[in-house]
Chains A and B, each alone.
Chain A
Amino acid sequence: MNVASETEVRGEREKRPEMFFHIVLERNMQLHPRFFGQNLRENLVSKLIKDVEGTISGRHGFVLAVTGIESVGKGLIRDGTPFVTFPVKYRCVVFRPFEGEVLEAVVTRVVQHGLFAEAGPLKIFVSNHCIPDDMEYQTGDMPNYTKSDGSVRIQKDCEVRLKIFGFSIDATEISCVGSIKERFLGLITDPGAVA
């Protein structure tokens, strides 16, 4: 299967998954014996929450919130150390972009070669090649992209609907590349309408 890179060629089987998912993840939690006792499970859960919330997993994107614990397995003592490892299955909300996904974002910066937007913790860059040809960069106090007939202006703090083309995940953030060149993409003037 080849990855379609031309938007026009996208197959009819295309579906756009949403970026927020509620999934079950598993993690091996190590606990020091000082936490054993009546509150073992609570300690385990709070350590899990502290370790995992707000982090990024390569496969699952941002882990936003742990919503519940599915199961806690039997603890195994690690050889040579006093630590005990518990496999914990938990449900959490993850946030992950997908190629081909359409989502809404807030413009944070406009520069000559494109614009930067953010959808929550996700950073997206839209290059000027992916902005409709009839929109031009205007420099000034509030740099913006304005349509040739003046009807549409995209500047900082505007809401835009864009499509993600690619992204890269590293330890601290996920950055994406997007486009507003297609139909029904671009500035959102009020909920439900796209300019």
Chain B
Amino acid sequence: MSGEEEENAAELKIGDEFLKAKCLMNCEVSLILEHKYEQLQQVSEDPMNQVSQVIEKSLQYVKRFSRYKNPDAVRQVREYHLSFHRILSRHQFTEFELCVLGNLCLETAKEAVAMVPSLKTKGSAHSNKATENILNDLSLVKRFE
């Protein structure tokens, strides 16, 4: 499709609507889809028949790859993003970057920078430490959920 050739995550050319839109992590999506699935279960006995294959596969996928299993942990991570956003606004972590960090459950700052190179550009030593802090805190949430 001709429109897609212009798009590139590397250049962040993904269309205005996506830039402004809210990113969801796998765990949040799994909550939404599971809720939907429960609603369907109340209506009929065999909800799997009703939902299309796309939704079924998506549900399996997010369940398998969601890092934080219980809703409180998910809320903590999301709020954590917001508070970090306020406190470290000078570092200007975008929602995208935090979502990637949350989703991929990275361990070291080195890995994080490889996956999200933009972290490197925001002032070297500063961000490294900040990134390490974020990663530590995210893994704490996971451990104590």
Contact call A18/B23, Cβ cutoff below 8 A: yes
- Residues 1-27 of A, flagged 1 when their CB comes within 8 A of B and 0 if not, give 101100000111111111011110000
Known A15-B116, A20-B29; 13 more pairs at CB < 8 Å: A10-B117, A11-B10, A17-B14, A21-B23, A22-B21, A54-B51, A58-B1, A65-B55, A95-B29, A120-B61, A121-B61, A168-B1, A168-B4
* B interface residues, how many (CB within 8 angstroms): 60
User: Which 4 A-B residue pairs are closest in the complex by CB-CB distance?
Assistant: A54-B52, A120-B61, A100-B9, A98-B9
Contact call B8/A17, Cβ cutoff below 8 A: no
Contact call A121/B107, Cβ cutoff below 8 A: no
Q: Determine whether A161 belongs to the interface, using a CB cutoff of 8 Å to chain B.
A: yes
Complex: A13 Cα to B8 Cα, angstroms = 12
- Residues 95-136 of A, flagged 1 when their CB comes within 8 A of B and 0 if not, give 110111111101000000000001111000000000000000
Contact call A104/B104, Cβ cutoff below 8 A: yes
Interface size class of A (residues with CB under 8 A): 35 or more
Contact call B9/A23, Cβ cutoff below 8 A: no
Q: Which of A3, A120, A192 contacts B107 (CB 8 A)?
A: A192
A54-B55, A121-B58, A168-B1 as given contacts; A99 in contact with B7, CB under 8 Å? yes
Q: Determine whether B74 belongs to the interface, using a CB cutoff of 8 Å to chain A.
A: no
Complex: A20 Cα to B66 Cα, angstroms = 13
Chain A at the B interface: SS class:
loop
Interface residues of A, Cβ cutoff 8 Å to B: 1, 3-4, 10-18, 20-23, 53-56, 58-59, 62, 64-65, 67, 93, 95-96, 98-104, 106, 118-121, 159, 161, 167-169, 182-184, 191-194
Q: Within 8 Å CB of B128, what residues of A?
A: none
Q: Determine whether B88 belongs to the interface, using a CB cutoff of 8 Å to chain A.
A: no
Q: Within 8 Å CB of A55, what residues of B?
A: 52, 54
Q: Determine whether B131 belongs to the interface, using a CB cutoff of 8 Å to chain A.
A: no
Complex: A59 Cα to B7 Cα, angstroms = 11
26 contacts between A and B (CB under 8 A): A4-B8, A4-B11, A14-B118, A15-B9, A16-B9, A17-B18, A18-B103, A20-B23, A20-B24, A22-B23, A53-B52, A58-B3, A64-B55, A93-B24, A99-B8, A100-B9, A106-B64, A118-B61, A119-B61, A120-B58, A121-B61, A169-B1, A169-B4, A184-B111, A192-B107, A192-B139
Q: Determine whether B22 belongs to the interface, using a CB cutoff of 8 Å to chain A.
A: yes
- A82 CB to nearest chain B CB (Å): 29
- B131 CB to nearest chain A CB (Å): 14
